[in-house]
Amino acid sequence: MGMGGCIILIAAGAILTFATNWEMQGVNLDVVGIILMLVGIIGVVAFSSAARRRRVIAPGATVVDEQQTRRYE
């Protein structure tokens, strides 16, 4: 599930929690909405941290640092 799926979960949960007044026997839609929002937020955090870790320096790339230049091979 990507970032878009997480945002859809957050939006669907917010709609169920705040914008509806349906009542179903045996199902509390407010709780279902809150669960969807929490899963969406956890997904956004996980996706962001995974995307941050994917930055990999390619072999042979020159990295310019403020103090020195290194060449990784």
pLDDT digits (tens, 9 = 90+) for 8-39: 999 999 999 999 888 889 999 999 999 999 99
19/61 Cα distance (integer angstroms): 52
- The pLDDT, as a whole number, for residue 39 is 96
The token pair at 66 is 């403020």
Global model pTM greater than 0.85: no
